[in-house]
Amino acid sequence: MNFAWPWQLRKAGVLSMNKRNIDYISRYNPRKFYKRVDDKLTTKQLALANHIAVPDLIGVIRAQHEISQLPKMVQGRTGFVIKPSKGSGGKGIMVITHVENGRFFKPSGTEVSPAEMDRHISNTLSGLFSLGGKADVAIVEGLIEFDPVFDGYSYEGVPDIRLIVFKGFPVMGMLRLSTSASDGKANLHQGAVGVGVDLGTGKGLHAVQFNKPIEFHPDTGLKLTNIQVPHWDTLLHTAASAYEMCELGYLGTDMVLDQSKGPLMLELNARPGLAIQIANGRGILPMLQHVESLRGKPMSVEERVAYAKAHFSSTTDH
């Protein structure tokens, strides 16, 4: 049979979409703080103010007539990323990895014509990618030189690390690796590989693609559970400190590893998806309830990271 029984999922501690919306997002995420994460430009400015490392900000395009200034803006750079400030789900992100004589190339090697680039930015400004179609701005960011430790684990894209942070405690993590099936994108529903990561050590635990457990990367054949995410403590620390920055109780943090700068925060998400449970092969609910049951004195970021490492590692039992 293709369906699980509800009590089996409840026993496994699987969080459902409805419960996430009612019991976590609407209860722990005050509406007034949403703009801190829904607008990536604001997030970036907040992060800088809180000494959290983020990718370089090359410039911001706010109006249609500024589009023509893009070539000047990215002059001298080998690559850059254009993203909508209010986009969601990775929509509208255009990555240019190669600039040659004013010609732009995507990671796949296909050229982006100036007309296409103009249209993309124009669409972005019109709010095509933003929630509710609100007018938006386009952020031009520096390209991330991603850490070669993931070489062979990701295909044509930047692997990113998603951590769910609940009331400041990192509770579950996963690594998202793009594949040829996902067209270089890191969205699991588009075919990216999700690798559940042990919270205590940063080691790969379990991997899935299209909701099915897999052992090897479909394009490179490397064993996925052998992955060890470097800078794990820094990643946990960065994620945990995002709580102070945006004050959202139930938060998804997306980070990447830059070769020279180390972990960089890409974006925050007030409504992180539930695929992380599948990647980890277990439900997130026990951890959330564990944190809810802590009603002690406020803890510092360091204390929270240490507590999470001690209690939410897959090797420990709750």
Partner 1 sequence: MQSRKPFYILVALLFILGLGSSIYRGIEHNVPFLPGKQVQSWAVDAKVSFIGTGEPAEVSFSLPQDPAFEILSENASSPGYGLSVTKIDGNRRAIWSTRQAVGQQDLYYKLTLVPSGQDKLIASKTPNTPELYIWPATEKTAAEQVINEAWSRSANNLTFARQLMQTLSARDRSQNVELLLSSNNPTRLFVNMLHDKGIPAHEVNGLYLEDLRRRQQLVPLAEVYDDGQWYLFDVVNGKAGRPDSVLLWERDGNSVLDVVGGYKSQVTFSMLKDTRSALATSIDMMKNQEGALDFSLYQLPLEEQSLFKGILLIPVGVLMVVFLRVIIGIKTSGTFMPVLIALAFIQTTLLTGLVGFLLIVAFGLMIRSYLSKLNLLLISRISAVIIVVIGIIGLFTVLSYKFGLSEGLTITFFPMIILAWTIERMSILWEEEGAKEVVVQGGGSLLVATLAYLAMSATWVQHWVFNFLGIHLVILAMVLVMGQYTGYKLMELKRFKPLAGE
- Return residues touching partner 1 (CB under 8 A): 2-6, 8-9, 11-12, 14, 16-19, 22-23, 27, 64, 91, 115, 118-119, 122-123, 126-128, 190, 208, 211-213, 277-278, 281-283
The Cβ of residue 201 has, within 10 Å, a number of other Cβ atoms equal to 15
CB of 89 to partner 1, least distance (A): 10
Nearer of residues 22 and 294 to partner 1, judged by Cβ: 22
CB of 121 to partner 1, least distance (A): 11
CB of 119 to partner 1, least distance (A): 5
CB of 157 to partner 1, least distance (A): 15
Nearer of residues 22 and 310 to partner 1, judged by Cβ: 22
CB of 101 to partner 1, least distance (A): 22
- The answer to whether the beta carbons of residues 256 and 263 sit under 8 Å apart is yes
CB of 134 to partner 1, least distance (A): 12
**How long is the chain?**
318
Nearer of residues 134 and 302 to partner 1, judged by Cβ: 134
> Exposed, middle or buried, 219 (CB in 10 Å: 0-12/13-18/19+)?
middle
DSSP single-letter state for residue 299: -
Give the CA distances from residue 85 to residues 124, 253, 265, 307, in Å, rounded to whole numbers and listed in that order: 9, 16, 15, 34
**Type of residue at 93:** I
Strands (DSSP E) found in 117-177: 138-142, 160-166, 169-177
| Strands 98-100 vs 103-105: parallel, antiparallel or unpaired | antiparallel
**Tokens encoding 172:** 């579950």
